[in-house]
Amino acid sequence: MTTRRQFLILAGGAAVSGAVEAQLPPNIEALRKAALAEAVRKVTGDAQVRRGKVKLDLPPLIDNGNTVPLSVDVESPMTSADHVRAIHVFTEKNPQPYVISAHLGPRAGRARISTRARIADTGTVLAIAQMSDGSFWSDSVNVVVTLSACLEDGLI
Amino acid sequence: MSVRVLRLFLLLALACAARAEIPLAERRSGYEDMGRETRAMQDDDATNPATLWVLDGESLWQRKEGAAARACADCHRDARDSMKGVAARHPAFDAATGKLLNLEQRINGCRVERQQAKPFAYESRELLALTVFVARQSRGMPIAVESSERTKPFLEAGRATFRRRQGQLNLACVQCHDERAGRRLAGTVIPQAHPTGYPIYRLEWQGLGSLHRRMRNCMAGIRAEPYALGAPEFVELEMFLMWRARGMRLETPGVRP
Amino acid sequence: MARVVVNLPQRARRGEIIEIRTLAGHGMETGFRRTQLGELIPRDIITRFTCSYNGVEVFRAELHPAMAANPLIAFSTVATESGTLEFRWTGDNGFSATHSASITVD
């Protein structure tokens, strides 16, 4: 049973750490943006991320946010000298920003992955490709997430 | 404008908005109301999540069960032959008991009578796996439930449920799924509600589920007390819905939002 | 429920790029959901997927709670030689699933 004191500390601490808390903080938009920026920074360091070479494919209008098919395709000869090292996918509006990090290499033949993500809310999905020469390229898509009609008993 | 004229206008507008049963040629499966990517999920067995359950069902088909230590395969051999068309004609009239049985109940009947095993709970993983495995064998076949003197009472009961207003929202199935199918409810297209793919992998559930589970969701949606899984009201409604979808191709296992 | 489905060609030409599609049966509990009583349901997901080709890792993925349940991971690899592809999923609570597939490369 959390005391009021414990709850306040939790809420205060959570606002700083971005951890899951009992109530959503009023500045959640800013927190999530910051979490996304931090996640991207962890992957790219201080390197510049340029738009291009990457094609993020997912439906602009999503049937159900629980399972969203997406694929990332990166232009690359995939040779030892010039290939995609990794593909990272992030979301803007989820409780945490990471989706998947795929590690490829010249043996992949083609820099393309397909998977299915959970996307909580209408917003941006971001894909970043890390190249063998240390450069970073990206693509982003804005998606609209609708709610399903007629859910299970007990759910809103 | 006088109240009388307004009321008349409203009645006229409602009459125009409402329409009778969907003409046979205009019926569409919920498949066609989904996005391209969701359809692709259903089309490819390698990426259809329901395949996980189909494979489980295939294993269960071979497993010796109950006091009789008998597997489905012992009597029914290769399901690809023996089960072809079975799902397309269920729910079916059981002459021995005079009852209407859906596929799940038929499978459980076999378990109890032939395998001398306990029936699987409705919506259990085992029952879903076996049902989807059996129903999968009818994929591509036209839905063809029996419409005759002996099934007439069940069909009529099912149709009555489909047309009856229920729940706090006081809505009948027909109002959304016959009259307003194709229009949107909170961003989602209202399907005509043909059970062409059951058991389905519903993205909302992130799992495989039965038609009865889906219909319980519908009833929760109109704030009605949902019937129990396997209840006769549901089996009759299932019968009516399958009859309403007669001739449409079975897509099991379907993927739906 | 530790079932996996792996789809790839049994045969390929040397140098051909082959498509591999994998499905793993797993609920992928995010750790963000709550019960009706407000209790947090603990995270339980697959965290890592690897594909090795005759013992050499050719693909690896880190999965996070934002991956959908029953995760699909589709990728490609170059058919370099005949042999075995090993697939491995690991995750929370000691989850582990493996699958082996042979390929003939001529």
Average pLDDT, chain B: 93
Q: How many CB atoms lie within 10 A of CB B244?
A: 24
A2/B69: higher pLDDT: B69
Mean pLDDT of B63-69: 96
* Interface with chain C: mutation pick from A99, A121, A126, A145, highest number of C CBs within 10 Å: A99
- Distance CA(B100)–CA(B84), nearest Å, equals 20
The arrangement of strands across the sheet holding B200-202 comes to B207-209, B200-202, B255-256
Task: Examine the pLDDT at B83 and tell me if it is beyond 70.
Answer: yes
Instruction: Tell me how close the Cα of C94 comes to any Cα of chain B, in angstroms.
Output: 21
Q: Return the residue of C nearest to A20 by Cα.
A: C32
Q: What digits encode the pLDDT tens for the residues B126-163? A: 999 999 999 999 999 999 999 999 999 999 999 999 99
On the question of pLDDT at B4 being above 80, the answer is no
pLDDT at B10 over 70: no
pLDDT over 70 at A8, yes or no = no
pLDDT of residue A33: 87
Which CATH number covers residue A112?
2.60.40.2470
Q: What is the Cα–Cα distance from A110 to A116, expressed in whole angstroms?
A: 19
Test the B interface: residue of C5, C19, C72, C99 with most B CBs within 10 Å: C5
Cross-chain CB nearest to C7 (options B46, B56, B206) = B46
- How confident is the model at residue A29, as a pLDDT? 83
Beta-carbon separation of A109 and C32 below 8 A: no
Q: Domain C4-11+20-105 - what CATH class? A: mainly beta
Q: Which residue has the higher pLDDT, B50 or A21?
A: B50
Q: Band the pLDDT of C2: cuts 50, 70, 90.
A: low
Once rounded to an integer, what is the mean pLDDT over residues B5-27?
A: 65
Q: What's the gap in Å between the CA of C75 and the closest CA on chain A?
A: 5
B104: tokens are 């799940």
Cβ contact, residue pair C59, A104, below 8 Å: yes
- Is A7 inside any structural domain? no
What are residue B101's phi and psi, to 5 degrees?
-120, 135
The residue of chain C nearest to residue B56, with distances taken between CA atoms, is C3
Percentage of residues in chain A having pLDDT higher than 90: 64
**ipTM score for this prediction:** 0.94
Residues in A touching B46 (Cβ below 8 Å):
none
Helix, strand, coil percentages (3-state) for chain C, rounded to 5, are: 5, 60, 40
The whole-angstrom separation of Cα C71 and Cα C45 is 10
A89 beta partners: A100, A127
Under 8 Å between Cβ of A90 and A123: no
Residue A51 lies in a domain: yes
Give chain A's domain count. 1
pTM for the full model?
A: 0.89
Q: Is residue A84 part of a domain?
A: yes
Of B187, B205, B226, the CB nearest to A147: B187
Q: What is the pLDDT of residue B8?
A: 59
- Average pLDDT for residues A39-43, to the nearest whole number? 94
> Looking at B75, B110, B173, B218, which residue is catalytic?
B218
So where are chain C's domains?
A: 4-11+20-105
Whether the bond into B253 is cis, omega within 30 of 0: yes
Q: Does A18 score more than 50 pLDDT?
A: no
Whole-angstrom distance, CA of residue B245 vs CA of residue B142 = 9
What pLDDT was estimated at residue A19? 46
State residue A7's pLDDT score. 55
Q: Is there a domain that residue A16 lies in? A: no
In-domain check, residue A104: yes
Q: Decide if B217 and A146 are in contact by the 8 Å CB cutoff.
A: no
Q: Do the chains contact at A100 and C65, CB–CB below 8 Å?
A: no
Higher pLDDT, C46 or B188: C46
Closest-CA distance, C38 to chain A, in angstroms, reads 9
User: Which pLDDT score is estimated for B80?
Assistant: 97
pLDDT for res B69: 96
Task: Give the integer Cα–Cα distance in Å for B61 and B51.
Answer: 15
Nearest to C71 by CA among B104, B41, B241: B41
Its domain, for residue A38, covers 28-145
Produce one character per residue of B31-45: b if its CB has 16 or more CB atoms within 10 Å, e if not. bebbbebbeebbeee
Interface contact B257-A148, CB threshold 8 A: yes
Q: Is the pLDDT of residue B192 over 90?
A: yes
The CA–CA distances, whole Å, from B151 to B24, B55, B92, B100, B230 equal 21, 33, 8, 8, 18
Q: Which tokens go with C80?
A: 């370099």
B257, A150: Cβ pair inside 8 Å? no
Confirm whether A79 is domain-assigned: yes
Which residue, B135, B120, B39, is CA-closest to B79? B135
Q: Is residue A109 part of a domain?
A: yes
Structural domains of chain B sorted by starting position, each given as residue range(s) with its CATH number in brackets: 26-44+143-256 (1.10.760.10), 51-136 (1.10.760.10)
Instruction: Report yes or no on A32 lying in a domain.
Output: yes
B125 interfacial to chain C (CB closer than 8 Å): yes
**Chain B residues within an 8 Å CB radius of A153:** 216-217, 220, 226
What does the pLDDT average to over A45-58? 94
pLDDT for the residue B18? 46
pLDDT at A126: 97
pLDDT band at residue B73 under the 50/70/90 scheme: very high
Q: Are B230 and B174 in contact (CB under 8 A)?
A: no
Which residue from B47, B52, B206 is facing C3, i.e. has the nearest CB? B52
Q: Cα(B110)–Cα(B73) distance, rounded to whole angstroms?
A: 12
**How far is C62 from chain A, CA to nearest CA, in Å?**
5
What is the predicted pLDDT for the residue at B159? Answer: 97
pLDDT band at A15, cuts 50/70/90? very low
pLDDT(B116) > 90: yes
- The band of B172, judged by pLDDT with boundaries at 50, 70 and 90, is very high
N-terminal to C-terminal alpha carbon distance within chain A:
26
Task: Give C5→chain B minimum CA distance, Å.
Answer: 7
Summarize pLDDT for C47-104 with one digit per residue, the tens.
999 999 999 999 999 999 999 999 999 999 999 999 999 999 999 999 999 999 999 9
Of C56, C59, C61, C98, the closest CA to residue C81 belongs to C56
Does residue B218 carry a catalytic annotation? Answer: yes
